[in-house]
Amino acid sequence: MSADVRDILDIERANTPEITRDSFLATKKRNFERTKHASRRPEGMHREVFALLYTDKKDAPPLLPTDTALGIGAGYKQNKARLGMKKVRKWEWAPFSNPARNDAAVFHHWKRVSDDSTDYPFAKFNKQLEIPSYTMTEYNAHLRNNIQHWSKVQTDHLFDLARRFDLRFIVMADRWNRQQHGTKTVEELKERYYEVIALLAKAKNQSIEKKTFVYDAEHERRRKEQLEKLFKRTTQQVEEEQMLINEMKKIEARKKERERKTQDLQKLISQADQQNEHAANTPSTRKYEKKLHKKKVHHTPRPSKVDSVVNAIEIGSSGIKFADLRGSGVSLRSQKMKLPANIGQRKVKALEQAIQEFKVDPAPPPTEDICTSFNELRSDMVLLCELRTALSTCIYEMESLKHQYEAACPGKTLNIPPSLVPIKTETLENSAT
Average pLDDT over residues 54-82: 59
Of residues 38 and 411, the one with the higher pLDDT is 411
- Every domain of the chain and the residues it spans: 91-125, 136-232, 305-322+333-420
The residue type of 367 is T
Q: pTM (2 decimals)?
A: 0.38
- CB-based contacts of 197, cutoff 8 Å, min separation 6: 132, 212, 213
Residues 26-37 have pLDDT tens digits of 776 666 666 655
35, 29 in Cβ contact below 8 A? no
DSSP secondary structure, 272-299, as one string: HHHHHHHHHTSHHHHHHHHHHHHHHHHH
Which tens digits make up the pLDDT trace of 187-240?
A: 999 999 999 998 888 888 765 567 778 889 899 999 999 999 999 999 999 999
Q: Which helix (H) or strand (E) holds 106?
A: strand 106-112
pLDDT computed for residue 295 by the predictor: 52
What does the pLDDT read at residue 309? 46
- What H or E segment, with its residue span, contains residue 105? none
CA gap 249, 329 in Å, rounded: 9
For 97, the 3-state DSSP assignment is strand
In a 13 Å sphere around the CA of 49, the CA atoms on its Cβ side amount to: 6
Tell me how long the chain is.
Answer: 433
Q: What is the mean pLDDT of the chain?
A: 76
Report the percentage of the chain scoring pLDDT > 90: 17
Identity of the residue numbered 324: D
Residue type, 218: E
pLDDT at position 376 is 86
Share of the chain above pLDDT 70, in %: 68
306-329 pLDDT, tens digit each: 454 445 444 444 467 776 666 556
CA–CA distances in Å: residue 202 to residues 138, 242, 247, 289: 12, 50, 53, 82
- pLDDT at position 429: 47
pLDDT, residue 315, reads 45
More confident residue, 96 or 2: 96
Rounded Cα gap, residues 107 and 113, in angstroms = 17
Q: Which residue has the higher pLDDT, 155 or 22?
A: 155
Q: Is the pLDDT of residue 277 over 80?
A: no
Residue 351's nearest CA partner among 368, 332, 375 is 375
Long-range contacts formed by 151-155: CB under 8 A, 24+ apart: 153/180, 153/181, 154/181, 154/182, 154/184, 155/192, 155/196
- How do residues 384-427 score in pLDDT, each as one tens digit? 888 888 888 888 888 888 888 888 887 777 776 665 555 544 44
- Protein fold of 136-232: Arc Repressor Mutant, subunit A (1.10.10)
